[in-house]
A = this chain, B = another copy of it.
Amino acid sequence: MRNLTQANVTDALIRSFDETPDARLKEILCAAVRHIHEFAQEVHLTQEEWLYAMHALLRAGKISDERRNEFIMFSDTLGLSALVDLMNRGNGERETAASQLGPFFVDNLPVASSSTVDLLRNFPGEPVLFAGAVQGRDGAAIAGAQVDLWQTDNDGLYDVQRPELEESRFRCRLRTDAHGRFIVKTIKPLGYTAPMDGPGGEMLTATHRNIWRPGHFHFMVQAAGFRTIVTELFPEGDRHLDNDVAFGVRESLVIDMPLCGSEEVARQFEMPVPFTKVDYTFRMTER
């Protein structure tokens, strides 16, 4: 290994992993090395460019915190997150398509006492009645499935981005009823931009890329014996559905938001008029 050349350095690296006990780890590292080396040779990476990248990675680490992982932002904006979701969870044909978890999930939320939850209260925003169903194979209802919903408010902010808040807002955890159904009274989520003050934002600025995500509802659905669903639903009509900075949109995750004309429904759920009603069925597959 003292006679390293451009031609043999990749093989030398791959041999250095010969003693790796875990075959999967070895496979992943060897493939990573091959692609990193091929990339560097293909573009003939200069020492100055290499150093810039090393500093950018360092800065990405420094700007990250408990809630913000700039490396996930790179993964999202470079389409790796989308690819991993698509490879592992398909495109929505058999089970609800997966999409980003994002940094705003809160895992220790209490379970609501009812399968109907009011997040709307008197907050500003376009009222939405979200009527969900959770089904397994052949449309069988999944009762007692745990559903997490979290979304932005009418300023495009999550509750966890408002340190002054003492309670959760536009966020709930509930269980489906005996028919596998649930209702959430909420508002239409607003879109927001990727964080632009770090190296990920620099990349978007330097490439003149769109920096917006379309508005979306985050969902996590869990039920015993089924694969957990982590996904996002995107109201139709958002101007960034076709250039989501994070590549999270799938055709099957775009939802119509028709105005509900039923006075009976409005009365039953005490919805302010006008409001839109979403009907969406989450499809789960067995583990």
A residues near B, CB below 8 A? 1-6, 9-10, 12-13, 16-17, 19-22, 25-29, 31-33, 35-47, 49-50, 54-55, 57-58, 60-62, 64, 69-72, 75, 78-89, 91, 98, 203, 206-210, 234, 241-244, 247, 249-251, 254
Question: Which of A9, A22, A27, A85 counts the most B-chain CB atoms under 10 A from its CB?
Answer: A9
Across the two chains, which residue of chain B brings its CB closest to A247? Answer: B4
Across the two chains, which residue of chain B brings its CB closest to A16? Answer: B209
- Bound CA span A283–B170, Å: 67
A45: min CB distance to chain B, Å: 6
> Which residue in B2, B17, B88, B241 is a CB contact (below 8 Å) of A209?
B17
Question: Which of A62, A69, A83 counts the most B-chain CB atoms under 10 A from its CB?
Answer: A83
> Which residue in B46, B69, B241 is a CB contact (below 8 Å) of A2?
B241
A-B residue pairs, 7 tightest by C-beta: A61-B61, A57-B71, A13-B79, A19-B208, A35-B35, A20-B207, A35-B39
Chain B residues positioned under 8 Å from A5 (CB to CB): 86, 91
Chain B residues positioned under 8 Å from A16 (CB to CB): 207, 209-210, 243
Contact, CB under 8 Å: B57 / A61? yes
Contact, CB under 8 Å: B71 / A43? no
Known: A61-B60, A61-B62, A84-B50. A250 touches B41 (CB 8 A): no
Copies of this chain present in the complex amount to 2
A95: min CB distance to chain B, Å: 14
Contact, CB under 8 Å: A83 / B37? yes
Can you name 6 A-B pairs with beta carbons within 8 Å? A2-B249, A3-B250, A16-B209, A16-B210, A17-B209, A40-B83
- Bound CA span A47–B242, Å: 24
Contact, CB under 8 Å: A71 / B42? no
Question: Which of A39, A86, A91, A210 counts the most B-chain CB atoms under 10 A from its CB?
Answer: A39
Known: A10-B79, A49-B28, A79-B9. A72 touches B54 (CB 8 A): yes
Contact, CB under 8 Å: B208 / A50? no
Contact, CB under 8 Å: A247 / B84? no
Contact, CB under 8 Å: B58 / A64? yes
